């Protein structure tokens, strides 16, 4: 019988590895600290509001890769939801990400040429932008930067944009047409039945034990299994011997309101520094309800998202990509190679990377491919295949 692999964490990375290894005839045992699978993608159905609640923040699946889209469609039917965010700043509402309609709202531009001219007037001549603020000033100029980026980013990351790398913002497009899709990828949607249904299929036939804290009995588990895939925070695995890796956390304030529709959209960003939360999510809109279903609902569920400091006791959500944090992570990676060669460290927390879901899947599939074809199973600086 093949040796059994222990997989620590039933989030997307752990579940994808479990599925692939299981389907290749390997035995796997998944342990998960939380009471349900799905990691931060987890959803649950809320009958009062007739919607799937995204328990740890909105998760919209998107990818440009046919391979990853085909793979994930084995476990879910996607509903065709397209993320079209609105921004609230003060009393005003804007289309977002920045597109021709936004440029009309802010500068009165009515055509791509007028929009291009408006941006050319706004842009500041910064030859080599050194941080997020300079990148924005050089690409969209101060008016749009102050309206949409500065306040939100400061709240989200707890630092001024001049102290953050530009990479954080480069994922958001700026367009000169009316396309207000938040993502550029060809494929996008939310699983019908929520991520809970998708993870049920992903983990079908696989042994998963919930409510198990690996780190509390780490040595016991490492002694029992020759091969381990660990998807938790890498610094916690090593008892923070090199200090804590910095994360931003989130606090969610949910409210069940006795009305049918609160904001008419799934996501409204609050970019104003004076408002303490960054966005309000209204969950039913992710399910693409028919107008009739939406109007006859007796309640709607909303969640306000408050950024919070990470650290002991706080859920780690976003790795903070500063040079100091990256250097600390490299020290943990060296420790992993030296002390835990039987453990593969993968996923957002173990690789300390701001992964999207499709990138997590790409990295997990790449890992299993390497392992099945004789590659090593140590920590790898994976470049997720798109």
Q: Which residues bind ligand UDP (CB under 6 A)?
A: 87, 96, 148-149, 152-153, 156, 168-169, 171-172, 269, 271
Residue 18 CA to residue 8 CA, distance in Å, equals 10
182 phi and psi, to 5 degrees? -65, -25
Q: How far is the CB of 179 from ligand UDP (least distance, A)?
A: 17
Would you call 175 a catalytic residue per the annotation? Answer: yes
Catalytic member of 175, 218, 284, 333: 175
Cis-peptide into 78, omega within 30 deg: no
Active site residue 248: yes
Which of residues 48 and 163 has its CB atom nearest to ligand UDP in the complex? 163
Compute and round to an integer the Cα radius of gyration of the chain. Answer: 22
Minimum distance from CB of 43 to ligand UDP (Å)?
16
Of 269 and 303, which CB lies nearer to ligand UDP in the complex structure?
269
User: Catalytic: which of 248, 284, 328, 348?
Assistant: 248
Place of tokens 């599939």: 365
H, E, C per residue of 44-87: EEEHHHCEEEECCCCCCEEECCHHHHHHHCCCCCECCCCCCCEE
Exactly one of 53, 246, 287, 305 is catalytic; name it.
305
Assess whether 279 carries a catalytic annotation. Answer: yes
What three-state secondary structure class fits 300? strand
CB atoms within 10 A of CB 291: 8
Instruction: Select 271 or 359, whichever has its Cβ closest to ligand UDP.
Output: 271
- Alpha carbons 285 and 303: distance in angstroms, whole number: 13
Q: Which is nearer to ligand UDP, 83 or 300 (CB)?
A: 83
- Which residue number, 5 or 359, has a Cβ lying nearer to ligand UDP? 359
The whole-angstrom separation of Cα 72 and Cα 199 is 10
Nearer to ligand UDP by Cβ, of 169 and 203: the residue is 169
Strand runs labelled E in the chain: 4-8, 27-32, 43-46, 51-54, 61-63, 86-89, 92-95, 187-189, 207-210, 227-230, 247-257, 267-270, 279-282, 300-309, 318-319, 343-345
The minimum distance between CB 285 and ligand UDP, in angstroms, equals: 16
Catalytic residue among 74, 116, 171, 296: 171
Residue 89 beta carbon to ligand UDP: minimum distance, rounded to whole angstroms: 9
User: Whole-angstrom Cα distance, residue 369 to residue 307?
Assistant: 37
Q: Can you tell me which residue has the tokens 């367009």?
A: 175
CB of 87 vs ligand UDP, minimal distance in Å: 6
Give min distance, CB of 204 to ligand UDP, in A: 29
Q: Which of 279, 328, 333, 348 is catalytic?
A: 279
State the minimum distance, in angstroms, from the CB of residue 241 to ligand UDP. Answer: 29
222, 228, 233, 234: CA torsion to nearest 10: 80
Closer by beta carbon to ligand UDP, 172 or else 308: 172
Q: CA 301 to CA 284: how far, in whole Å?
A: 7
Pairing of strands 318-319, 300-309: unpaired
Q: Which residues are catalytic?
A: 171, 175, 248, 279, 305, 354, 356
């Amino acid at each position: 019988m093949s040796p059994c692999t222990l997989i620590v964490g039933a989030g997307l990375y752990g579940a994808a590895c479990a599925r692939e290894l299981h389907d290749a005839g390997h035995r796997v045992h998944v342990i998960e600290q939380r009471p349900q699978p799905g990691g931060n993608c987890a959803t649950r159905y809320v009958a009062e509001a007739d919607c799937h609640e995204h328990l740890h923040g909105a998760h919209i699946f998107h990818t440009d890769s046919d391979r990853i889209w085909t793979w994930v469609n084995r476990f879910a039917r996607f509903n065709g939801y397209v993320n079209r965010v609105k921004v609230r700043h003060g009393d005003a509402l804007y289309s977002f990400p920045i597109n021709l309609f936004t440029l009309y709202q802010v500068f009165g531009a009515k055509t791509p040429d007028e929009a291009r001219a408006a941006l050319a007037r706004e842009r500041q001549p910064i030859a080599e932008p050194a941080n997020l603020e300079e990148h924005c000033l050089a690409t969209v100029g101060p008016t749009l930067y102050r309206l949409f980026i500065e306040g939100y980013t400061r709240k989200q990351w707890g630092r001024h944009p001049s102290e953050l790398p530009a990479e954080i913002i480069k994922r958001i497009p700026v367009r000169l047409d009316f396309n207000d899709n938040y993502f550029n990828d060809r494929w996008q949607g939310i699983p019908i039945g929520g991520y809970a249904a998708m993870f049920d299929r992903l983990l079908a036939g696989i042994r998963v034990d919930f409510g198990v804290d690996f780190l509390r009995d780490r040595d016991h588990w490492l002694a029992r299994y020759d091969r381990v895939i660990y998807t938790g925070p890498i610094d916690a695995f090593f008892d923070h011997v090199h200090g804590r890796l910095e994360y931003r956390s989130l606090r969610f304030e949910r409210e069940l309101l006795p009305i049918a529709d609160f904001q008419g959209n799934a996501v409204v960003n609050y970019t104003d520094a004076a408002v303490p939360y960054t966005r309000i999510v209204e969950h039913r809109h992710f399910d693409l309800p028919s107008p009739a279903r939406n109007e006859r609902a007796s309640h709607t569920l909303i969640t306000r998202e408050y950024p919070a400091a990470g650290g002991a006791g706080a859920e780690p959500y976003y790795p903070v990509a500063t040079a100091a944090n990256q250097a600390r992570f490299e020290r943990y990676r060296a420790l992993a190679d030296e002390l835990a060669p039987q453990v593969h460290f993968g996923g957002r927390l173990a690789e300390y990377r701001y992964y999207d879901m499709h990138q997590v899947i790409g990295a997990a599939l790449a890992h299993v491919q390497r392992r099945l074809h004789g590659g090593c199973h140590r920590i790898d600086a994976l470049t997720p295949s798109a």
